[in-house]
Structure 1
Amino acid sequence: MQSSWRHLARETFRWQARIRPICAGRNTLFLRHSLRQASWVTNTKTTVLIPPFLTTKPLGRHLSWTAKLSKPLPESTPIPALTQQTTLEEWDESLEEYEDQDGPEPTKAQVAGAAAEAVRIAVSNGDLSEALLVLNSIYVANTRGQQLIKDYQRLILDKPVGLKELVEPLPIPFQPGTPIRLVAHSFLHGLLRYGYQAEAARVAEQFMRYGVRMHWKTLDAIFTEITKPLPPADRVDVTRLNQQLSSSNVLKWEIPRERTKHAGGTHALRLLAFARKSRQRRTRLMFKTLIALCIINGEIILASLIFGTMMRDWNAQVVELAPAKPKQVKKHPIHDRYDRVTAFPSESRMEEILGFIERALKVDDQWTEKYRASSLQALANLAVLLDRRLIPFEGVSPLIRLLTLAEALPGTVHVPDNTGKVSQVRASQYFQEVLDRLSYNLPWREYPRRATLYPPYKRNKGLTPALSLSSYNHLLRRAFLQRHSKEMGSKIFYHMTKNRFPVLRPSKETLDIYRQASIVLDDEKLWMVAARKGKRQEDAEGKLNTPERYAELMVNEKRRTDLIRKINFLVNIGRPDLVAEHLHSLIGRFAYAKTEEEEVLDQDWNVFLGPRFFVALLSALLRNGHTGNMRRVWRMAKDAEAQSWSSRNSMAWSLPIAAYSIMIDMYAKEVRKGQKAQYIGGKLVAPRVLQKPYATGWGAREYMKFILRGMLGFYKGMDLYQEAMAAIEHFPVKDERRRRKGGMFHPDHKLPIPDPAFFNSILDVVSRDPDMIARSGNQAYDESRENLTSAYMAYRQTGMLPKRTRKELLRIGNDMVKYGLPIPPALTPYFVGHGFEFETLESGLKTWQRTCRSQYRLRARINKWAAYKKISVRIGRSWRETLKVPWVIQRHGPLFGQEKYWRPRYRYNPPPLYGRALKSFRAMPQSLGETDIGDQDADAGDQETDTADQETYPDDHEAYPDDQEPCSYDHEAYPDGQETYLSDQETYPVTQETFWRPRDRYR
């Protein structure tokens, strides 16, 4: 026994000298001398060694709990000082003469302080056996034989097998009643400080199991250390775990021992379970770190169950500690906090869970597809808590909004009934029933203080207080705009303004909901209700509830959120044209006549509007087809974005990735329009050639660039894609630099992060093969894998590329792989032989399997082309009459052509019979014969039939030399068997178009 304490004393001296060498003379003998001057107290069962202390208070500069001695040592017995020049052997010899002297008897707190310091030193040196010896010895002295920590092999995994025999048989004889809490916490903090996180979690579990009270800060420190998330590469699939938890009852669920794929999360769950069982204090940080870890790992059902447990514990504590009558509550809120055993379940925890659920349910991509069912089940768990009135706060508007959106989603969920039995029901039907019950039976009264142990009101029929104003607004919007129920909406509005205590005044958003309902339900009375409750009484006189009247409200609107709400509503009801009519009043600098002062004010206004406004405005213009206005608004948005970062006092913001996706969608529509022709009177009519080859005016003469609309859209789309990729790399650096300097940010600021919707938009621009025709229906997984395998095997056998691929498509594929997104299945053959491994492409096929988003794919190739011959067309399963199609003879070039190339432009409005046939063939100097396209267009009815938005796939043409001359052709149907070629001098003013072709004509 003496050897162990002597070792600890030496280590104590070395530790003190290493930290504070100047105090080495004072802090030398606090353990060693106490053992030399030990006094023995004999009890009936054990003999305890009581180590006395000295008056020098050696840990006074390091430990605040060192108590003063009640009896100082005599001055006639000086204690030999130990300096840095004194060796330990000399010091041991000098202490021999003081062994027989009587010293002051230390208190139990002093003994615990010395033991805690010894434990801390032992852990810092990695000698956990010595620390466990001191800790177990104190516990043995208090419990008379029982040890605190028994399973040493499980606790210390890196120690030898003989550790149990080393520390278990001979405990140090401490005095009974020595405080163990200080020693235990010193041991836990030492484990955390020196990297023993798992061991600290297991020791804390043992402490709580044997009744040692844990301080809440120590538990917070343990939870923070053991719940650090793993890097994305080390995370595992949690689909099976979510399936196992899907049938759990959120009202009776108990924390299991091991229900997470994260090792630290498993320890945290067990600690939380032992803390609940032993009634230890559970703090908000414990639940916050555990729920955040579950969300990061994708264990969303487990996160919802933990939140439900947190809510049930709080409600049980309220019922237990609340007095019988509410009037007896006279505590101050600060004193109320110390009575809590568990934390208040705030809205922040619920919003974190709802944020993950919304991303999984709202975005259709391959990453969120596997979390869709689990997210729907987690939302159902929260809906159960709302339906049973167990949510103890009024801010449930995010939950109501998400439940409203999820009413249209397919799927099933497991919910408990009134008897406690879990049954499987349709998710949409259950969410609708929950919101209907809430709308017809709203809570009546709010609590006088939030997050307090206040007894619930019986009239509320639960623990949920009266709802907030935003919650009422979401219920009103659902009743009027989604359910189209005037009765439900009027009841909610009457409860908010008449029955609730205290009553709520309708906000501008509430009145705006009534105006929107007046337009959707075609009821002028609802508009008059909004006019009476609002400030402007003249709105109710002599006007109709039309979308034009509603659009006029945007002219003088100064609130950013109200502008965004009005724009989105007009887009949703199918009237984006009204947004374009008032564009000059919505955005600054759009009018041409502006003074310098007005331009400065307009630019400041554009900065104030923020990125969400520009996204909503661009979306409205895209729906209406205003390409020119979209480009102008885009440049203004980029100018406002640059100005917001110019000053430190300005509210900086950046355009989100959705803005870039909308602009690329606009250019994708231009690409689809590039090769359209018009079928009028049996002729393929081309527009007239412009008489003036250049523009005249105030500026200098500039010759026209003869480039087709589709190619211009392609180049502009690629330029915008490069701008987006530059912003993705540039703005995070600026954001971090500005945050370090304490700069301000706009409330709608969001960094541009590439998502699947962004890559789908750019793929719609570059993945259009001129030799392809449209196909309906999704490719099966087996078909996609077969195409990839055949292309890869052909490349390995012949060394030739199976597909000729655009360099832009290869660049986008590299970017998708860089950001962790798989390449769509139908595009994978085009990446064979370009540096992409077969495993990478095949993994993309597996990831895209069973996705609900329509997959982007290239079209099926046709290896034969049409000439001036008869073409027998098969639509579906039946053959129709032949159609003579005179197509312009062009030289066949590469699949996607050169970097710059010209294409003839046709416009046609074909009848339904030949809508797909005319744009599916190319002219070549050989007859096609009978071509069966029934397999490709068998399901053509599933695709869009609108002529304005119908997809066309441009033909491919190689760039022609500059010395080629233009010629003209008559686009007219020829008689059977007759081929007529016009001379270069013949022109037709109405039905001609200038294009480039080789000098030699085809005969």
Structure 2
Amino acid sequence: MQCAWPKFARPAVRGFARPLLNQHNRIGIHSASWPAFLRLTVPPKNPIRQLQRRYTALQTSPATSLPGTPPGPHQAGQFESPVLESAGEETYPDQIISSAEVGRTAAQAIRFSIQQDNLGAAFLIIQSWYHARHPNSPLHAQKMSFLGDPTGNLIPFGKSVTSRLPAHSLLHALIRNGEVEKASQLVQGMISMGTRVKSRSLEAALKGFENHASSSPPNNLSSLIPLKSLDSTLIRPHMSHNAHITGGALRILQAARRSGGRSTGRMYRYLIALCIINGEIILASLLFGVLLRDWQAREKAKAAAATAAATILSSEPSELPEYVAQAPAPQSQELKSMCNYISWNFSQPHVNDESSKLAFSASLQALANLANDMDEKRLSVNLEPLIVAMYNCPRTTQMVWVSQNSMPPRRVEAYTYFHDVLERLISSLPDREREQEQIRFINGPPKYNIPQPLEPVNHLTYNALLHYSLRHQRSIDSARFVLTNMLERLEDALRVRQIQAKKGMTSILDRAAKDFPSGEVEALMKEVGLTPVTLAELLNVPEGRPLNTYALSARIALLVSKGEIQTIIDALPTILPGLFPPPAPKGTPRVVAIRAANKWREDSLEKAVKLGPVVFTALLNALRKNGSTGLAESVFVYGLEAEKKSFDLDVSREKERAGTRRILVRPWCLPVHAYTTMIQAYDNERRRRSLQKPYAKGWGLTLEGTSRPGHTSDDGSDPVRRDVLARRMILETYHLMMAASQKIATRLKKLEELVQAGMKASLDGATKQKLDIKIVLGLGQGKNDFNPPEPDIWFFESLLDIF
């Protein structure tokens, strides 16, 4: 028999065989070019007209023409849509075309309509399909009413034509165009009509909601319905401007759960991020609690099935909903983003306007929800951000709602409740084996006390509890308990991070040493067998690992409190080698020596960038207390150079993969404390007006790092009085600090412009490498890495003492 497929292959696949080139917005990611030997030379036809032609062939083909089938639109004269004209197009009435091909052509027609800004034509295709499936259903017609009235006569699709691909094409087109409400309604309609929606499509929809909210975030927090009392708004305060966006995203998740679909971790992550952008932090915490409970039920079912299999018990397996059986595991990223937002709200200045009160009250309630999850041992992620947010809660008498052991909610004082939870956590540090053995004997019936899937506490959580014990509870006994429990488990759970954990512990102990009587913290360290970490050990970091800047600054602060500042000065050539160039050989011309010193200073600048603002501030404070004003000036100017260097793209070049250079830029800036420290150092010089040394010597650098003429040289020029130069330098530091914020904003703007432009050329311009640039503010080791300097009370008090 003669093979007949070649003559039908070209008309059957024309128009959709060649994939469309996706336009990626991400930097450095481009789709591969279509192979030359597969490129079609025929110009593309109108996909909407192809849809009509293929539908006509489908209706006239013997494979689909069954007894009782209504006549096609070409027979009944019903196909008269103004957007589906076929004038000038050839037809193939003898072709055998499948329903899947009609669906693919419909999807391409939708894409074409979107490219032509003709949403009506795209909506008409979806309306036609749903009308073909449910011609006389008022409920389904109501669900599709958001598409509007048809722009033409409906296409009489057959029930065998699938709408999955066309509906997904329209969904992604609506997301790209920012039509988030229609996208949400389309997803709900697809699910209610039985169309299976991919998890990736739901993720893309929720990500589109997040991007849309980020482009126009609301400014003020207010309740949707005006309530009589402020206490009532603790239930659900949120942004009224973007409430429809959050509502649409929640309806997508709800529809997916009801239909038995799989809710992925990205869906919860995008939804929680959307709630944070809109200021609905209470809703974000409740969503995280839903995720925890679903995963907890999933793990309980797995444990019960394993127990039944081990004991050879014949029992019916527990039937869980599909969304619970496939519940994703909670991640630390969601908890950290919520806690960061809560901590940011707590750090804002307290004002009496309604928006600030609502934001503060909402943060308290959300933190209470998360603390309740931790108190009931549901959390299996890194607890450090939650513990930090709890002990940073300002003292307040406001009340929050909590519910324990599935009992009715009750109102408690927020501040007291947070510290009670932390004390309970310290007194019974989580341990998997102990919890599973004892949990059925405490706090009520066994059904409320199932074995919790709790991971071992990591060293970050231990460090947070140690900090809370020393700095907030001021309890050596509590700190001893935390340290003992931590060191016993270092060889087991923390073997890989043993060195980092010990450095974190010693830095916390160093910072807390000044708050206790002399020698008490040192005795505690000796009791638990913890040896102090020296400056040399902190600076000796293996290649590829970040420097623990907070541990280094804590050790510097401890040496200052002990009066061992000379140890810090002796270590300066190791900490900042750029300030101490090697001596030039004898007989080297002065110009050559200066050029070599400048090159040494520039080459060592990248190491200074890795120190960050915390180490520079600690060094300035130590040098000020030692009276080394000239050396402090050198460190300060070098810190400003390192700050500027941190905004360059070539500082944090990470790796190169598949012709794409991936760059991570971590800009930082010196805080206002660094400027205040320099002002205090100059003020100390101003007060030092002795008769023996009335003139300045060895300090008074310019921003370029050069000495000021007339007071530091020995060429016989007129000297400058110490108090006069100190006042001049104080004023220059003041003006420098006031202009710093604007400079940092300008640098950030230029850096973002480079990222948005795409950086299609390489840094040196010699190659055509693609770049993938990511900007992360600060070094990632604390909240003070990126704080643009703004005058605070200590800054102005230092100026008032002088002038």
Q: Tell me the TM-score normalized by structure 1.
A: 0.55
Deviations 1:690-733 (A, max 9, x none): 99998697333224368375455224321443455334423653
Question: Is 2:100 the partner of 1:109?
Answer: yes
SS in 1 for 2:561: coil
1:564, distance to aligned residue in structure 2 (A): 3.2
1:564 to 539, 545, 550: 550
SS in 1 for 2:305: coil
SS in 1 for 2:391: helix
2:328 to 326, 343, 346: 343
Say if 2:16 and 2:104, in contact at 8 Å, map to a contact too. no
- CA distance 1:479–1:328, shift in 2 (3 Å): farther
SS in 2 for 1:424: strand
Question: Is 2:230 the partner of 1:205?
Answer: no
Q: Which letter does structure 2 place at the counterpart of 1:360? A: N
The corresponding residue for 1:272 is 253
2:66 to 28, 38, 41: 41
SS in 1 for 2:190: helix
- CA distance 1:655–1:669, shift in 2 (3 Å): farther
Deviations 1:423-450 (A, max 9, x none): 3322221111111111122222399xxx
The corresponding residue for 1:384 is 372
SS in 1 for 2:432: coil
1:730 to 747, 753, 756: 747
1:489, distance to aligned residue in structure 2 (A): 3.4
1:631, distance to aligned residue in structure 2 (A): 2.2
- CA distance 1:514–1:226, shift in 2 (3 Å): closer
The corresponding residue for 2:389 is 402
The corresponding residue for 1:483 is 473
2:425 to 416, 434, 438: 438
The corresponding residue for 1:22 is 42
Deviations 1:776-814 (A, max 9, x none): xxxxxxxxxxxxxxxxxxxxxxxxxxxxxxxxxxxxxxx
Deviations 1:613-643 (A, max 9, x none): 1133335556788655532320232344567
Question: Is 2:744 the partner of 1:758?
Answer: no
For 1:565 and 1:595, the matched residues in 2 are separated by 32
For 1:320 and 1:437, the matched residues in 2 are separated by 28
The corresponding residue for 2:4 is none
Say if 1:181 and 1:212, in contact at 8 Å, map to a contact too. yes
Identical pairs, percent:
21
Say if 1:397 and 1:470, in contact at 8 Å, map to a contact too. yes
Say if 1:291 and 1:349, in contact at 8 Å, map to a contact too. yes
Comparing 704-713 with 644-653, which one deviates more in the overlay? 644-653
Q: Which letter does structure 2 place at the counterpart of 1:614? A: F
SS in 2 for 1:414: strand
The corresponding residue for 2:3 is none
Deviations 1:534-574 (A, max 9, x none): 696xxxxxxxxxxxxx7x93366425855633644775999
The corresponding residue for 1:238 is 221
1:415, distance to aligned residue in structure 2 (A): 2.2
For 1:696 and 1:285, the matched residues in 2 are separated by 62
SS in 1 for 2:410: strand
Consecutive unaligned residues in structure 2, runs of 5 or more: 1-10, 21-39, 76-84, 311-321, 435-445, 541-545, 585-595, 654-663, 697-709, 764-770
For 1:953 and 1:628, the matched residues in 2 are separated by 20
Deviations 1:892-913 (A, max 9, x none): xxxxxxxxxxxxxxxxxxxxxx
2:460 to 444, 461, 470: 470
For 2:134 and 2:291, the matched residues in 1 are separated by 34
The corresponding residue for 2:198 is 215
Q: Tell me the TM-score normalized by structure 2.
A: 0.66
Consecutive unaligned residues in structure 1, runs of 5 or more: 1-9, 53-86, 330-336, 448-455, 537-549, 678-685, 766-948, 955-1003
Deviations 1:421-478 (A, max 9, x none): 333322221111111111122222399xxxxxxxx99999523322112212222332
- Higher helix fraction (1 or 2): 2
1:952, distance to aligned residue in structure 2 (A): 4.7
SS in 2 for 1:413: strand
For 1:118 and 1:744, the matched residues in 2 are separated by 37
1:155, distance to aligned residue in structure 2 (A): 0.8
For 1:696 and 1:347, the matched residues in 2 are separated by 56
1:184 to 167, 186, 193: 167
1:663, distance to aligned residue in structure 2 (A): 0.7
- CA distance 1:477–1:607, shift in 2 (3 Å): same
The corresponding residue for 1:707 is 724
Q: Which letter does structure 2 place at the counterpart of 1:311? A: L
The corresponding residue for 1:509 is 503
For 2:118 and 2:742, the matched residues in 1 are separated by 53
The corresponding residue for 1:150 is 141
Comparing 472-481 with 640-649, which one deviates more in the overlay? 640-649
For 1:22 and 1:699, the matched residues in 2 are separated by 85
The corresponding residue for 2:714 is 698
Deviations 1:868-919 (A, max 9, x none): xxxxxxxxxxxxxxxxxxxxxxxxxxxxxxxxxxxxxxxxxxxxxxxxxxxx
1:89, distance to aligned residue in structure 2 (A): 5.1
Q: Which letter does structure 1 place at the counterpart of 2:430? A: P
SS in 1 for 2:400: strand
Map 1:154-173 → 2, pairs under 5 A: 154-156=145-147, 163=150, 172=156
1:222, distance to aligned residue in structure 2 (A): 2.0
The corresponding residue for 1:875 is none
Say if 1:300 and 1:378, in contact at 8 Å, map to a contact too. yes
2:671 to 633, 639, 659: 659
Say if 1:658 and 1:758, in contact at 8 Å, map to a contact too. no
The corresponding residue for 2:341 is 356
SS in 2 for 1:700: coil
Say if 1:108 and 1:178, in contact at 8 Å, map to a contact too. yes
- CA distance 1:373–1:49, shift in 2 (3 Å): same
Deviations 1:257-312 (A, max 9, x none): 99772443331122122222222222333323332233233332332223223333
Say if 1:618 and 1:659, in contact at 8 Å, map to a contact too. no
For 1:411 and 1:573, the matched residues in 2 are separated by 41
Question: Is 2:155 the partner of 1:174?
Answer: no
For 1:691 and 1:259, the matched residues in 2 are separated by 65
1:609 to 608, 611, 631: 611
For 1:17 and 1:511, the matched residues in 2 are separated by 60
For 2:406 and 2:115, the matched residues in 1 are separated by 55
SS in 2 for 1:172: coil
Question: Is 2:749 the partner of 1:717?
Answer: no
State the aligned residue count: 668
Say if 1:124 and 1:194, in contact at 8 Å, map to a contact too. no
- CA distance 1:345–1:16, shift in 2 (3 Å): closer
Q: Which has the higher contact order (CA 8 A, sep 6+)?
A: 2
1:407, distance to aligned residue in structure 2 (A): 6.8
The corresponding residue for 1:837 is none
Report the structure number with the largest CA radius of gyration: 1
The corresponding residue for 2:28 is none
Q: Which letter does structure 2 place at the counterpart of 1:174? A: G
- CA distance 1:576–1:712, shift in 2 (3 Å): farther
For 1:142 and 1:388, the matched residues in 2 are separated by 49
Q: Which letter does structure 2 place at the counterpart of 1:423? A: R
For 2:255 and 2:301, the matched residues in 1 are separated by 20
Map 1:794-873 → 2, pairs under 5 A: none
1:757, distance to aligned residue in structure 2 (A): 6.0
The corresponding residue for 2:361 is 373
1:303 to 284, 289, 300: 284
For 2:325 and 2:514, the matched residues in 1 are separated by 51
- CA distance 1:663–1:266, shift in 2 (3 Å): same
For 1:338 and 1:761, the matched residues in 2 are separated by 53
For 1:460 and 1:525, the matched residues in 2 are separated by 42
- CA distance 1:445–1:697, shift in 2 (3 Å): same
Comparing 719-728 with 643-652, which one deviates more in the overlay? 643-652
Map 1:554-593 → 2, pairs under 5 A: 554=535, 557-558=538-539, 564-565=550-551, 567-568=553-554, 571=557, 575=561, 578-579=564-565, 582-586=568-572, 587-588=575-576
Q: Which letter does structure 2 place at the counterpart of 1:667? A: I
SS in 2 for 1:406: coil
The corresponding residue for 2:211 is 228
Say if 1:412 and 1:426, in contact at 8 Å, map to a contact too. yes
